[in-house]
C-alpha cells in the first residue's frame, strides 16, 4: 500500500509541475499527462506493468462524472442559451456526419471493411468533453459570438449520439445480436434528460429546505448528487454523462448557498480527476506499438481535422 501511495503522490506532484512547464511551452496539459503515463508504463522508464481494462474503465468513469458535472456547473446559461440549438445540432447530426465520412475514408482509402471503418468513425466522432473544458477554461480564450459556450454544450451533450452509433455498429458486426435501436435512442437521450433535470431540481429543493451548515457539507452533498445523477439513468439504460452534465448546468445556474466555494472545490477536484484519467490512459498504452499504427492514425486525424468535421460543421451552421 505504501509504495502505491508514494507513487500517487509523485505522479500528482510531477503532473502539477509539468502543467506550469506546458503552459510556457504551449503543449496541451492533458497531452503531458498522457505522456507522463507512458513514461511510467511498461514501455517507459519505470516499467510499471498495468493492463487491467476493467479497473481503467471504472476509474475513468468516476473521473469523467466529475469532469462533466463541473463542466455543466461552470456553464453560464444566459450566455449559452442563444447558441444551444446549434450546439445540440452539432452534438447529434454533426457527430453522425463526422462518423459516416470518417468511416467511408477508412473503408475506401485505408482499405478497412465498411463496418470496421464506421466503428472507428463512431468511436472518435465526438469531441472529448474533458479536453474541451480544460482548454477553454485554462487558456481563457476570448471567443466571440458565444462560441465557447457552444463548444462546451456540444462536447457535453454529444456522448449519447456517439454511444448509440457505436452500439449499433457493434451489433451489426456480431451475428445474431439484435437490439431495438429506436429504444436505445429513446432511453439514452430521454432518461438522461429526465434524470438530469429531476435530480437537479430535487437537490435545489433539499438545499432550500435543509440547512447543512458549513460549505464543506454542501461539497459532500454535491459529490453525492453527481454520483447519483450518473448511476440512476445508467441503471435503466439512460446516458449517465448527459444526466450529470444537465444536473451541473441547472445547479450552477441556480441560487444555492456557497456557490463560490463549490466552484473552487470542484475546480481542484476536477484537476485531480483529469490527472487520473489521462495518466492512466498513458499508463495503459504501449508506445512501442505506436509505429505500427502511426501513419493510418495521422491520416485519419488529418481527414477529420480538415475534411469530415469541417463539412459537418459548415453543413449545419
Q: Look at residue 169 and tell me if it is in a domain.
A: yes
Q: Is residue 7 in a domain?
A: no
How far apart, in whole angstroms, are the C-alpha atoms of residue 59 and residue 54? 9
Name the residue with cell 447519483: 228
**Domains in the chain: how many in total?**
1
Q: What share of the chain is helix, strand, coil (3-state, %, to 5)?
A: 80, 0, 20
Query: CA-CA distance, 233 to 34, in Å (whole number)?
Result: 30
Output Rg (C-alpha) for the chain, integer angstroms: 20
Classify residue 131: in a domain, yes or no: yes
How far, in Å, CA of 186 to CA of 84, rounded?
A: 20
The neighbour count for residue 104, using CB atoms within 10 Å, is 16
Cell 454544450, residue located: 153
**Residue 196 in domain:** yes
Q: How confident is the model at residue 26 (pLDDT cuts 50, 70, 90)?
A: low
Q: How confident is the model at residue 234 (pLDDT cuts 50, 70, 90)?
A: very high
pLDDT of residue 138: 65
Q: Are 304 and 105 in contact (CB under 8 A)?
A: no
Range 179-203 average pLDDT = 89
Instruction: Please indicate, yes or no, if residue 62 is contained in any of the structural domains.
Output: yes
Give the domain CATH number at 267: 1.20.1530.20
SS3 142: coil
CB-hemisphere CA count at 13 Å for 174?
Answer: 9
Tell me, yes or no, whether 206 lies in a domain.
yes
For the entire predicted model, the pTM comes to 0.87
Is the pLDDT reported for residue 186 higher than 80? yes
Structure confidence at residue 137 (pLDDT): 66
Domain that holds residue 210: 50-316
| Cell digits of residue 177 | 445480436
Amino acid at each position: 500500500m505504501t509504495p502505491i501511495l508514494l507513487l500517487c503522490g509523485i505522479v500528482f506532484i510531477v503532473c502539477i509541475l509539468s502543467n506550469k512547464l506546458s503552459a510556457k511551452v504551449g503543449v496541451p496539459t492533458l497531452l503531458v499527462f498522457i505522456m507522463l503515463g507512458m513514461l511510467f508504463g511498461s514501455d517507459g522508464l519505470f516499467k510499471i506493468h498495468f493492463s487491467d481494462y476493467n479497473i481503467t474503465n471504472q476509474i475513468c468513469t468516476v473521473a469523467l462524472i466529475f469532469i462533466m458535472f463541473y463542466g455543466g456547473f461552470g456553464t453560464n446559461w444566459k450566455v449559452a442559451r442563444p447558441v444551444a440549438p446549434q450546439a445540440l445540432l452539432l452534438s447529434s447530426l454533426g457527430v453522425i456526419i463526422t462518423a459516416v465520412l470518417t468511416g467511408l475514408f477508412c473503408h475506401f482509402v485505408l482499405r478497412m471493411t465498411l463496418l470496421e471503418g464506421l466503428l472507428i468513425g463512431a468511436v472518435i466522432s465526438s469531441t472529448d468533453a474533458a479536453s474541451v473544458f480544460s482548454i477553454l477554461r485554462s487558456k481563457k480564450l476570448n471567443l466571440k459570438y458565444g462560441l465557447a459556450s457552444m463548444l462546451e454544450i456540444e462536447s457535453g451533450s454529444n456522448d449519447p449520439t456517439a454511444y448509440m452509433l457505436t452500439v449499433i455498429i457493434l451489433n451489426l458486426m456480431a451475428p445474431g445480436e439484435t437490439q431495438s435501436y429506436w429504444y436505445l435512442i429513446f432511453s439514452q437521450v430521454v432518461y438522461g434528460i429526465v434524470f438530469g433535470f429531476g435530480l437537479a431540481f430535487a437537490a435545489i429543493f433539499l438545499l432550500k429546505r435543509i440547512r447543512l451548515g458549513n460549505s464543506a457539507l454542501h461539497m459532500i452533498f454535491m459529490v453525492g448528487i453527481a454520483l447519483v445523477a450518473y448511476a440512476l439513468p445508467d441503471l435503466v439504460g439512460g446516458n449517465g454523462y448527459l444526466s450529470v452534465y444537465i444536473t451541473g448546468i441547472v445547479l450552477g445556474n441556480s441560487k444555492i448557498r456557497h456557490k463560490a466555494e463549490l466552484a473552487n472545490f470542484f475546480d481542484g477536484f476536477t484537476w485531480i480527476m483529469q490527472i487520473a484519467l489521462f495518466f492512466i490512459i498513458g499508463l495503459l498504452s504501449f508506445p512501442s506499438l505506436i509505429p505500427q499504427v502511426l501513419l493510418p492514425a495521422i491520416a485519419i486525424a488529418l481527414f477529420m481535422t480538415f475534411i469530415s468535421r469541417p463539412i459537418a460543421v459548415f453543413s449545419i451552421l
